[in-house]
C-alpha cells in the first residue's frame, strides 16, 4: 500500500501518516424515526341544576342632614343583615359591596346615601325568602339573582363531562381506525378545552315595597346549566 493513500472499509476510514501508521476515524450514522399520529376528538356534556345563588340588595335614602341619612341607611342595612342571618345565611356570605354619600346638585342641601350588599345563598330553599326581604324591609335597590354551581358540584360535573368526552373519543378512534385499516398504538398526547357555565340571571322577579298589596312569595326557578368538555387524543399509528 502506498503511503498517503486512504482505504474505506465498512464506513471506517484510515488515514496513513508518513510512517505508515493509520489513524482511524469513526463515522456515526443517526437515524431519525418520525412518528405518525392519528388525532381524534370527543365531546362530553353534563346538564346540572345550580345549587347556589347570589343577589345584590341595597337601599337608597335622602335627607337634609348627612347624619340623618346615614342613620336611616345604617338602620335598614342592620335590619337586612339580621333578617338574612335568621334565614341561615352565614355572616361570611353577606358582603358590603357599596356605601356612598353624595349631594343633590339640583336641590341644594339635599343629600343621598346608598348602601349595597351582595348575598350568597348556598341553600336555594332560602332563595325565595331572601328575595321577599326586598318588600318586607322596603329596599329600593335590588339586582337580578344569579344562579351558579358550588365549587364541589362544578368539579364533579367537569369530571363527569371529561369522562364522557374521552369515552367518545376512544370509541370514535376505534371505529375510524377499523374502517381505514389502521393499527392504533398508545395515546401519546391529550388536549382539553371546556366551557364553564355562565351564571344565569333571573330578572324582573322581585316585588318592590308599597301599596299594601297582598304579600306573595317571590318565585325562584334556578333552571339548569350545561358544562361541555372537549378533548383531542393523539394515537401513535403502527
Distance separating alpha carbons of residues 112 and 115, to the nearest angstrom: 10
Per-residue confidence (pLDDT) for residue 204, from 0 to 100 = 42
| Confidence band of 220 (pLDDT split at 50, 70, 90) | confident
Contact predicate 198/79, CB 8 Å: no
Give the chain's domains with CATH numbers: 6-30 (no CATH), 38-47+152-195+231-237 (no CATH), 50-149+199-223 (3.30.70.2970)
Percent of the chain with pLDDT over 70: 77
Tens digits of residue pLDDT in 123-138: 999 999 999 998 889 8
Contact predicate 17/23, CB 8 Å: yes
| Residue 117 predicted with pLDDT over 70 | yes
Exposure of 87 in the CB half-sphere (CA atoms within 13 A) = 24
Distance separating alpha carbons of residues 56 and 143, to the nearest angstrom: 5
- List all residues 6 or more positions away from 20 whose beta carbon is below 8 Å from its beta carbon: 3
Amino acid at each position: 500500500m502506498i503511503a498517503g493513500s486512504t482505504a474505506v472499509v465498512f464506513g471506517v476510514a484510515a488515514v496513513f501518516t508518513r510512517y505508515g501508521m493509520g489513524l482511524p476515524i469513526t463515522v456515526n450514522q443517526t437515524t431519525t424515526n418520525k412518528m405518525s399520529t392519528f388525532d381524534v376528538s370527543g365531546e362530553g356534556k353534563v346538564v346540572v341544576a345550580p345549587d347556589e345563588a347570589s343577589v345584590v340588595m341595597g337601599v337608597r335614602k335622602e335627607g337634609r342632614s348627612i347624619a340623618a341619612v346615614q342613620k336611616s341607611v345604617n338602620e335598614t342595612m342592620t335590619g337586612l343583615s339580621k333578617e338574612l342571618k335568621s334565614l341561615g345565611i352565614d355572616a361570611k356570605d353577606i358582603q358590603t359591596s357599596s356605601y356612598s354619600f353624595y349631594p343633590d346638585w339640583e336641590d341644594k342641601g339635599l343629600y343621598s346615601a346608598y348602601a349595597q350588599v351582595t348575598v350568597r345563598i348556598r341553600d336555594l330553599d332560602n332563595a325565595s325568602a331572601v328575595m321577599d326581604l326586598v318588600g318586607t324591609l322596603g329596599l329600593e335597590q335590588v339586582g337580578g339573582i344569579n344562579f351558579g354551581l358550588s365549587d364541589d358540584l362544578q368539579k364533579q360535573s367537569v369530571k363527569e363531562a371529561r369522562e364522557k368526552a374521552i369515552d367518545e373519543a376512544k370509541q370514535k378512534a376505534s371505529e375510524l381506525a377499523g374502517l381505514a385499516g389502521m393499527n392504533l398504538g398508545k395515546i401519546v398526547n391529550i388536549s382539553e378545552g371546556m366551557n364553564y357555565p355562565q351564571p344565569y340571571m333571573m330578572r324582573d322577579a322581585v316585588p318592590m315595597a308599597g301599596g299594601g298589596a297582598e304579600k306573595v312569595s317571590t318565585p325562584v326557578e334556578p333552571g339548569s346549566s350545561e358544562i361541555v368538555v372537549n378533548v383531542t387524543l393523539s394515537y401513535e399509528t403502527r
